[in-house]
């Protein structure tokens, strides 16, 4: 069975794909790391050089790598390894234009701002790795609302409180 590794940002929108991954994949096969923007390239390089067995499916969400690391990942893709980077930040668009395994969507087809959590949720549901539920729909939307600041415009205090809760509870 293929192992799954997720590397994501260390904010609420970055940790939430890890929560979705815990629901979608077996605990025995799923591992994740959350990192700051300043540590992403080192973390992915460490995975490539020290942890990668060539059979691990790697997901990177809510954060992007530099061109040098992207090229290393692309070499793994050429060898048949599954690598998927899912982001909503327009700063990652140059990678999406160059690599098929990079998916960047800042707004959906209706003009609604996206978040990594909503993009990863849709990805997992479309591939029948996770079933939609009303509770997950609500959670994902609250994360999206907070991360895009739409909570402020919609006066959705529940989204703001969820983010506060994230910082109050130890991350372990």
Residue 158 has pLDDT above 90, yes or no: no
Q: If we measure between CA atoms, which residue out of 54, 62, 66 comes closest to residue 32?
A: 62
Residue 87 near residue 116 (C-beta atoms within 8 A): yes
**Phi, psi torsion values for 155, nearest 5 degrees:** 55, 45
- Per-residue burial over 61-89, b if 16 or more Cβ lie within 10 Å, else e, is bbbbbeeebbeebbebeeeebebbbbbbb
pLDDT digits (tens, 9 = 90+) for 79-121: 999 999 999 999 999 999 999 999 999 999 999 999 999 999 9
pLDDT digits (tens, 9 = 90+) for 58-89: 999 999 999 999 999 999 999 999 999 999 99
Q: How many CB atoms lie within 10 A of CB 144?
A: 24
Residue 83 near residue 77 (C-beta atoms within 8 A): yes
pTM as predicted: 0.92
């Amino acid at each position: 069975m293929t192992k799954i590794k997720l590397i994501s940002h260390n904010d609420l929108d970055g940790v939430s794909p890890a929560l979705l991954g815990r629901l979608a994949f077996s605990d025995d096969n799923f591992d994740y790391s959350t990192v700051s923007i300043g540590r992403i390239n080192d973390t992915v390089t460490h995975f490539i050089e020290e942890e990668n067995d060539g059979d691990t499916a790697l997901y990177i969400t809510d954060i992007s790598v530099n061109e040098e690391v992207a090229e290393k990942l692309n070499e793994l893709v050429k060898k048949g390894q599954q690598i998927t980077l899912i982001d909503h930040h327009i700063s990652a668009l140059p990678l999406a234009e160059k690599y098929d395994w990079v998916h960047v969507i800042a707004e959906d087809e209706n003009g609604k701002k996206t978040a990594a959590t909503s993009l990863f949720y849709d990805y997992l549901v479309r591939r029948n790795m996770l079933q939609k539920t009303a509770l997950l729909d609500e959670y994902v939307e609250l994360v999206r609302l907070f991360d895009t600041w739409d909570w402020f415009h919609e006066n959705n205090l529940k989204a703001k409180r969820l983010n506060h809760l994230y910082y109050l509870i130890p991350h372990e």
